[in-house]
Structure 1
Amino acid sequence: MDLAQELVCLEIPALPAFVGVARTVVAAVATSVPGIDDDRLEDLRIAVSEACTNAVEAHQAVGLDQRVVLRCLLEPDNLEVRVEDNGSGFDPAAVPPRPPVGDPAHLRAERGWGLQLIRALVDEVRFVPSEQG
């Protein structure tokens, strides 16, 4: 397939049950990127799952029933995935770092790993606030 640039959009209800749909669609789009291997594809699935889960939780925290929007910009050698929500927003720099592996608190930290995982699994992460947050 010869791609100049293609945009694939998906809207999902802000419900945890639909995060898997987003993960599956983005993975299917990613298979069009030349040379993507299974490990990289799995990294993308996890990152998308984490980002969508955060977006769903952001909507639920403020009582929004609007959909979470995913935009996949597919270029010949690149895939950019945007996850858009209308939650209240947050400052990613204010998110406390997770405990180091040797720290006993590391074993008790059940939640809050999403941003760290996303950053570790993809090439670039940006947080762009919208008018809503």
Structure 2
Amino acid sequence: MATVELRFSALPEHVRTARLVAAAVARRAGVDEAVLDEVRLAVGEACTRAVGLHQHSGISAPVKVLLIEEEKQFSIEVGDEAPHATPGGRTPGGSGATEAEIEEDEMGLAVISGLVDDVEVSAGEHGGSIRMRWSTTPPATFPV
């Protein structure tokens, strides 16, 4: 199992770099070429969400992206350190999230779910993560 870890300041201009790195590592891991656009879009959406959560909460910690190459699958986990809104719209120890912010967050998660078959979202008082998985194909081997 190989893992690449990427950390970047919670600034929108760094999301593009995260997308490019994710696509390059996914390609090397054996993710089908036809799926790479979906990988880029999903990672961009997840990173944009994390950046927004950090900025909204005033968190200076970097956004963390793990690119994990396993046997027969490739995973990307995008983590944030922002306290997440509860179903009542309140963030632990903070003010309530606006309806527009909650709606935007839900829309981002819906886009990711539409792009990736296997998605896990976890959120809590001390941050959250989105883990996305894609199947990989082993590299072709040719007889010598």
Give the TM-score range, shorter chain. Answer: 0.7 to 0.9
Q: Is the 8 A contact 1:10 1:69 kept in 2?
A: yes
1:126 aligns with 2:120: yes
**TM-score relative to the length of structure 2:** 0.70
Rate the CA distance shift 1:120–1:63 in 2: closer, same or farther, 3 A: same
Q: Is the 8 A contact 2:83 2:125 kept in 1?
A: no
Alignment of 1:1-40 (within 5 A): 5-34=1-30, 36-38=32-34, 40=35
Choose which of 96, 108, 111 in structure 2 pairs with 1:114.
108
> Percent identity at matched positions?
35
Q: Is the 8 A contact 1:55 1:85 kept in 2?
A: yes
**Following superposition, which runs of at least 4 residues in structure 1 exceed 6 angstroms of deviation?**
none
Tell me, which stretches of 5 or more residues in structure 1 are unaligned? Answer: 96-108
Instruction: Report which of the two has the higher share of strand.
Output: 2
Rate the CA distance shift 1:80–1:94 in 2: closer, same or farther, 3 A: farther
SS of match in other structure, 1:128: strand
**TM-score relative to the length of structure 1:** 0.76
Q: Deviations over 1:69-109 (max 9, x none)?
A: 00011013211100010111145x889xxxxxxxxxxxxx9
Alignment of 1:94-109 (within 5 A): none
User: How many equivalent residue pairs?
Assistant: 114
Choose which of 43, 59, 74 in structure 2 pairs with 1:64.
59
The residue type paired with residue 22 of structure 2 is V
Tell me, which stretches of 5 or more residues in structure 2 are unaligned? Answer: 90-102, 128-144
Counterpart in 2 of 1:100?
none
1:51 aligns with 2:18: no
